Amino acid sequence: MSSEDATAPSDPAGDGAGDAAATDHENALQDVIAVDPDDVAQGTVNRLDAHTGDGIRHRAFTCLVFDTEGRILLAQRAPNKRLWDGHWDGTVASHPVEGQSQEDATEQRLEEELGISPGQYDDLRVTDKFEYKRYYPNEGVEWEVCAVLKVTLDDTSLDPDEEEIGGMLWADYDHLHENPALYRQLRLCPWFEIAMRRDFS
């Protein structure tokens, strides 16, 4: 992991701003897996607690979804998301629950968020892992040991959940990486930007 993958901006928003409004959020009813820097489980913590204040390091994943032409599916996070709402992800990101593998968690989220069933692919695999910490002004923080998974769709039929996905587009993956300025208006999620940079390094 490069040093920039673990750095945070100078405005950490760690003063709890917005915490009171967040206490009724659905994430307050869920747990995530706290981990050490080597991704060794340290028990479970409340998901909202893990994403507020200075955060708690926890296990996560992001899955990059491709078609057979090498294009990546970018999915816009719905406007009701507490963190990075309206930003574009490549393609889904979430957290496994206790006792769940990264592959099983990814398979579940692909189906729940995008309507992608296991019958549409046969190559889901973990390709990388990194730790990072990023603050979202006045709302919270992501401090994750994030596994990167990839999958190629033989069938690109999609049925997105509007509560999760605001928009979708297919982009040439090489072009996206080589020309970030052309895609700046999309506001890419930080974990996806890190995963993509590491993928081409």
Residue 138 has pLDDT above 80, yes or no: no
CATH value at residue 17: 3.90.79.10
7-21, 95-109, 136-150, 165-179: range with lowest mean pLDDT: 7-21
113 is in an annotated binding site: yes
Which residues constitute the domain of residue 56?
A: 3-199
Give which of 154, 115, 140, 157 is closest to 19, Cα–Cα.
140
Q: At which residue do the structure tokens 């307050």 appear?
A: 28
Tell me the C-alpha distance between 87 and 107, whole Å: 22
- Residue ranges with strand state E in 4-70: 31-35, 41-46, 58-67
Tell me the C-alpha distance between 150 and 155, whole Å: 15
Dump the DSSP string for 131-151: EEEEEETTTEEEEEEEEEEEE
- Label residue 27 by pLDDT band (50, 70, 90): low
The pLDDT of residue 83: 86
What average pLDDT does this structure show over 163-184?
A: 94
19-28, 30-39, 75-84: range with lowest mean pLDDT: 19-28
144 is in an annotated binding site: yes
What average pLDDT does this structure show over 15-37?
A: 62
Tens digit of pLDDT for each residue in 92-135?
A: 999 999 999 999 999 999 999 999 999 999 999 999 999 999 99
Tens digit of pLDDT for each residue in 46-56?
A: 999 999 999 99
Beta bridge partners of 107: none
Tens digit of pLDDT for each residue in 57-79?
A: 999 999 999 999 999 999 999 88
Q: At which residue do the structure tokens 């890190």 appear?
A: 194
58 is in an annotated binding site: yes
- Label residue 10 by pLDDT band (50, 70, 90): very low
Indicate the burial class of 168 (C-beta count within 10 angstroms; 0-12, 13-18, 19 or more).
middle
Q: Which residues are catalytic?
A: 144
- Label residue 9 by pLDDT band (50, 70, 90): very low
Number of domains in the chain: 1
175 is in an annotated binding site: no
The pLDDT of residue 18: 39
Express as a percent the part of the chain with pLDDT over 70. Answer: 86
- Label residue 84 by pLDDT band (50, 70, 90): confident
Q: What is the pTM of this model?
A: 0.84
The pLDDT of residue 107: 97
Bin 70: left if φ > 0, else alpha if -120 < ψ < 50, else beta.
left
CA dihedral of 149, 154, 157, 158, whole degrees rounded to 10:
0
